[in-house]
Amino acid sequence: MRVIGALGWHTFLEAVRDRILYLLVFFGIFVFGLSRLLSPLALGEGRRITIDVGLVSLSAFGCLLTIFVGHQLIFREIERKTLYFLFSRPIRRADFVVGKYLGLLMVLAVCLTAMGSILAGVLVLSKYAFGWAFLQAIFMTFLELSIVAALAILLASFTTPVLAGLLTLAAYLIGHGSGDLLTFLQGNETSTTRIFERIFAVLVPRLDLYNDSLPVLTGMLWSPEQCLYGALYAVCYAGACLFFATVVLSRRELAL
């Protein structure tokens, strides 16, 4: 655990010192500017627009952050030859993968907390009400991005950084429409669509499970079943990604 903890802390520290947190400033300016710009045009729906756009921006900025940090986590160690420092020590490939993932989760946790606070600040300044469901929404976004982070690490284990970044972005975008696509496939049942449906259900992350601004708008909390299912799905999907990333890295020769 000491090794995984050290790798995680180091990954977090590296992201922070790489000035990745500057993204928060952009987020703050973006959300504040957007709320000021759109609210007067929303014909009394300013609160709804601010919350909707704010939560979507939170998720999108979090995804960008995950891609920025995650897509080169492995390649960079090989490219700058720091892997000699790491792998001359008693660390397993699994320690390496899990440590990097934990570091990425730490970055996400800090950034989502900060971005959530900025959004809450904007809502307070605009005198828009929000309740505990807002905190739940932030937590669900964290679960969503924990899946994206695991996927980014899996893709980074066997592709180039650019390709890993693009594929992660594609998975994020498709993942948000995955519920609708599954419903579509289920409504047009043929033998071919059944195969597609199964492959789709297993491979594409169900990120739509985590994006629902309705509870925040209505003040109703997410049901415990929804939260539990979301958490379990995230743990299973991320666990599978990390497992396969470990398998790929264990089979790979890690030297230039």
Partner 1 sequence: MRHILELEQLQKTYQPGLLRKPVIALRGLDLSVRQGEVYGFLGANGAGKTTTFKLLLGLLRPTGGRGHLLGLPLGDRHARRRLGFLPELPAYYPHLTPRELLRFARALSGLKADDASDLRLLEELGLGALGDRSLNRMSKGQVQRLGLAQALVHEPELLILDEPMSGLDPLARAVVKDRIRRERARGCTVILSTHVLADVEVLCDTVGLLRDGQLALEGAPSELLRTAVREVVIEVTGAVHAGVLAGMPEGSTLVNVTEDGEEWQVKLTRPEPFQVDGCLRRLLTGGAVVTGVETRRQDLEDLFLRVTTGPGVDGRAQS
Residues lying near partner 1 in the complex (CB under 8 A) are found at 2-3, 5-7, 10, 13-14, 17-18, 80-92, 253-255
Of the candidates 20, 56, 233, 73, the residue with the CA atom closest to the CA atom of residue 147: 233
The distance of closest approach from Cβ of residue 19 to partner 1 in the complex, given in angstroms and rounded to an integer, is 10
Q: Compute φ and ψ for 65, nearest 5 degrees.
A: -60, -45
C-alpha angle 65-71-75 in degrees, rounded to nearest 5: 140
Pick 77 or 144: Cβ nearer partner 1? 77
Pick 84 or 132: Cβ nearer partner 1? 84
- Is 62 within 8 Å of 116 (Cβ atoms)? no
The distance of closest approach from Cβ of residue 131 to partner 1 in the complex, given in angstroms and rounded to an integer, is 40
Of the candidates 72, 149, 163, 142, the residue with the CA atom closest to the CA atom of residue 103: 149
The distance of closest approach from Cβ of residue 11 to partner 1 in the complex, given in angstroms and rounded to an integer, is 10
Residue with tokens 């996400």: 108
Pick 81 or 194: Cβ nearer partner 1? 81
The distance of closest approach from Cβ of residue 169 to partner 1 in the complex, given in angstroms and rounded to an integer, is 26
Pick 85 or 229: Cβ nearer partner 1? 85
Q: Residue 79: what residue type? A: E
Pick 198 or 252: Cβ nearer partner 1? 252
- Is 254 within 8 Å of 86 (Cβ atoms)? no
The distance of closest approach from Cβ of residue 6 to partner 1 in the complex, given in angstroms and rounded to an integer, is 3
Q: Which helix (H) or strand (E) holds 34?
A: helix 22-38
User: Cβ neighbours of residue 224 under 8 Å, at least 6 residues apart?
Assistant: none
Q: E strands of 35-78, at which residues? A: none
Pick 45 or 79: Cβ nearer partner 1? 79
The distance of closest approach from Cβ of residue 138 to partner 1 in the complex, given in angstroms and rounded to an integer, is 28
